[in-house]
Chains A and B, each alone.
Chain A
Amino acid sequence: MAKNLAIDHDTLREIYRQMSRIHEVDKAIQAGLSSGKFQFTYWPLTGQEAIPASIAPLITEKDYMVTIYRGIHDQVAKGVPLKGLFAEALGRVDGVNKGKGGSPHISDPGSGSMLTTAIVGAGAPIANGLALASKMRGTNAVTIVNFGDGATSIGAIHEAMNLAGIWKLPVIFLCQNNQMGEYTPIPEYTASVDFAGRAAGYGFKGVKLDGNDPVVFHNGMKSIIDEVRKGNGPVFVEALTLRLGPHAGVGDTNHLSKEDLAAAKAAWPVPCTRALLLEKGICTEEELARIDEDARAEVKEAVAAALKSEVTGEDEMLLDVYADPTVVPQRGQRDKRAAEAPHTGETREMAMFQAIQDAQEMALQLDDNVIFLGEDIGASGGVFRCFQGMQAKWGERIRPTPIAEQAIIGAATGAALVGMRPVAEIMFCDFMGVCLDQVVNHAAKQRYMSGGATHVPMTIRTIAGGGIGGFGAQHSQSTEAWLLHTPGLKIVYPSTPTEAKGLLLSCIFDEDPCVQFESMMLTYTTKEEVPLGDYRIPLGVAKVKREGTDVTLITYGWQVMQCLAAAEELAKEGISAEVIDLRTLLPLDYDRILTSVEKTGRALVVHAATEFCGLGAEIASTINETLFSKLKAPASRFGAAYAPIAYSKIIETAQIPHAGTIAARVRELCK
């Protein structure tokens, strides 16, 4: 270390104080686990204390931080209250997230610790969203996203770095290079000579710093944070350190030889920094002992309080899945939600793509927090023509993105975490596969994992290309069942231009993450008079599109027109079919479904998605359980055959339900 310390004494003393707090937390956790007093999985941070401790004096609670499961050091230094931190790790009601997230999922907006992920690398796209919100709001906050060296191999980091570069976001990618990706040392998983060098490939600066030297690291970070704060764009920091513990659990790492481990322990920043303060005469032994004792006492008090707190009970199980617990689908629950009032105001003839643009324009007018992200949504006006002329009119609130779905959804999630209302377009719903982690592990679960401390009011719009023919297996799927299986998302699927507008506006202003599926079969073909202005259709309200008495066809999306055509055909044979358009798939309108089937005694659920394990099976099963004694025939479901959607028009037509095959199924039911 430098002979004359290039840091002021109070700052170094403060850095050590944070290191001491982190160390005492680490020690208390390891002691609790060793004695069997605690039982949870721990990813020890031992050896990496100097990194967040050196940054702490440079940031405030207004700066955002994202970290990972091995991130308790980051949480402590950022200012997460220790009592809440321990109670969370122990799954107790007084945890910062009500014991529902645990130590790998801490969110504490009060201290700016916004999100902790247990999915390697997944925090970086979300950090971009936090930084985007700061940039668009004109605050000078900085976002720091922490991840390990192991995360540099995963796609999310690369997508995030590319987007941060092109948007010049105020974000610092802080790679805590502890030499080990879980159980695999660096030369075994990458041929890169370093990680900082990768930033140049994305057009911004990468810096390598000794993360174990608080003086060097603090000074290095000071100029980097200043630069990022000024709006000069992102920086990638490779903080060199060494993990002294195992990937998970308690004890020493088993990847170092005896000699290397001894050397590493001798270079451990906690005692080294303490010795430096003493050697340079900055602190006396008594002062240092007091710092350590204060940290110990703070931790002891926090542990005692956490242990007194009750383990979070079952009453919390279905809370925080959504803002409104009645949205959770439950057996026997059939709340009647009020439908939209009949529209009496002005209208204009529009196709669905125009109605969507109309809703988007309306949302932008209503709330400055509304922004749009997606591929090709800029000057080209959007692949589906829903953004025509919008970038010229709305400027940077219309944000065309690289072709990088994880980056898109992550940015939307991060911005939503701090109160923006982002709307992301995922061009085809087949591409949900490339951003599924961001959608299902992050956006959907964040409210629950944070015990309601944070939530994600964002909307995703996506196209289902099926039914037209010629798009092939990767642009024709109906992927709603993937998402329906994930608690936390709301899903809508309009079948008319008016409903596309009304549902989309409700989604954008909903407090939970929503996905609107739009069918390409309907985007351009049907035109109708669409209400102008702020027109909304409440979520979770189905609509009878044709009344009937013999059988109920329950459907949504472009299968509504197939069911209506089938009903027309059946009417000629004397079978009266009622057609219900679900419009919202979650929350599901069980009341209107069951009310109709109580009347008709027969039900067929029809969808374009694969029949096996689809929504139809779920609805049919609920009808059979609830109305068993009143049914004239078992409720059934009809979806696509169990095969990828074929390119051949003949196969595609045969594999997805259509008016003819639907009518045939109804005739069977009515025999």
Chain B
Amino acid sequence: MSTPLTIPKLQMSTTEGTLAEWLVDDGALVEEGQPIYCLETDKSVQEIEAPESGRLVQKAAAGETYPVGTEIGEITSA
């Protein structure tokens, strides 16, 4: 089982977000609620927490801007 990580729509006006930085290495184990990446939008910079516990698979490069809904990674059952 895996849970996809997609660029979230955090505000009504958000259409895209910048994956500023991965806070956890690719392939590392994460705990639910642990900050895993920094998201930058026109309004703010926010740490995004892991929705589940498991192994993080990164699928997108940091420093790039992606439209809302883009899959940037997933958390697979450890």
Contact = CB atoms under 8 A, between A and B. Distances in A.
A249 B14 CA distance: 9
B46 A35 contact: no
A39 B67 CA distance: 13
A254 B43 contact: yes
B10 A35 contact: no
A34 interface: yes
B48 to A, nearest CB: 5
B3 A37 contact: yes
A470 B8 CA distance: 59
Interface in B1-36: 3-12, 14, 33
B43 A34 contact: no
Interface in A37-72: 37, 39, 41
A249 B49 CA distance: 15
A249 B12 contact: yes
A34 B48 contact: yes
Most chain B Cβ neighbours within 10 Å, of A33, A35, A254: A35
A32 B51 contact: yes
A34 B69 CA distance: 11
A248 B69 CA distance: 18
6 contacts: A35-B50, A36-B4, A37-B4, A248-B11, A250-B46, A251-B10
B3 A35 contact: yes
A31 B51 contact: yes
A35 B10 CA distance: 10
B57 to A, nearest CB: 14
B11 A34 contact: no
A34 B3 contact: no
Given A34-B48, A34-B49, A39-B69, A250 B12 contact: no
Interface of B: 3-12, 14, 33, 43-44, 46, 48-51, 68-69, 71
Most chain A Cβ neighbours within 10 Å, of B3, B11, B44: B11
A29 B76 CA distance: 21
A246 interface: yes
B41 to A, nearest CB: 10
Contacts of A37: 3-4, 6, 51
Given A251-B46, A254-B44, A35 B51 contact: yes
A34 B44 contact: no
Interface in A244-269: 246, 248-251, 254
A36 B51 CA distance: 9
B54 to A, nearest CB: 12
A349 B7 CA distance: 72
B7 A36 contact: yes
Contacts of B10: 33-34, 249-251
Contacts of B48: 34-35
Contacts of A35: 3, 5-6, 8, 48-51
A35 B44 CA distance: 16
A248 B13 CA distance: 10
A36 B6 contact: yes
Contacts of B7: 36
A251 B48 CA distance: 10
A34 B7 CA distance: 8
Contacts of A249: 9-12, 14
Interface string A19-39: 000000000000111111101
The 4 closest A-B pairs by CB, nearest first: A36-B6, A35-B51, A249-B11, A36-B8
Given A35-B51, A249-B10, 14 more contacts: A31-B49, A33-B8, A33-B9, A34-B8, A35-B3, A35-B49, A35-B50, A36-B5, A36-B71, A39-B8, A248-B11, A250-B8, A251-B11, A251-B46
Contacts of A31: 33, 49, 51
Contact of A246 (B6, B11, B33): B11
A249 to B, nearest CB: 4
Nearest to A27: B33
B32 to A, nearest CB: 8
B43 A36 contact: no
A10 B28 CA distance: 44
A249 B68 CA distance: 13
A577 B11 CA distance: 60
B51 A39 contact: no
A31 B8 CA distance: 10
B64 to A, nearest CB: 16
Contacts of A251: 10-11, 44, 46
B37 to A, nearest CB: 10
Given A31-B51, A254-B43, A36 B69 contact: yes
A37 B44 CA distance: 20
A250 B11 CA distance: 7
Most chain A Cβ neighbours within 10 Å, of B3, B7, B10, B49: B10
A251 B10 CA distance: 8
Nearest to B52: A35
A37 B14 CA distance: 16
Contacts of B46: 250-251
Contacts of B3: 35, 37
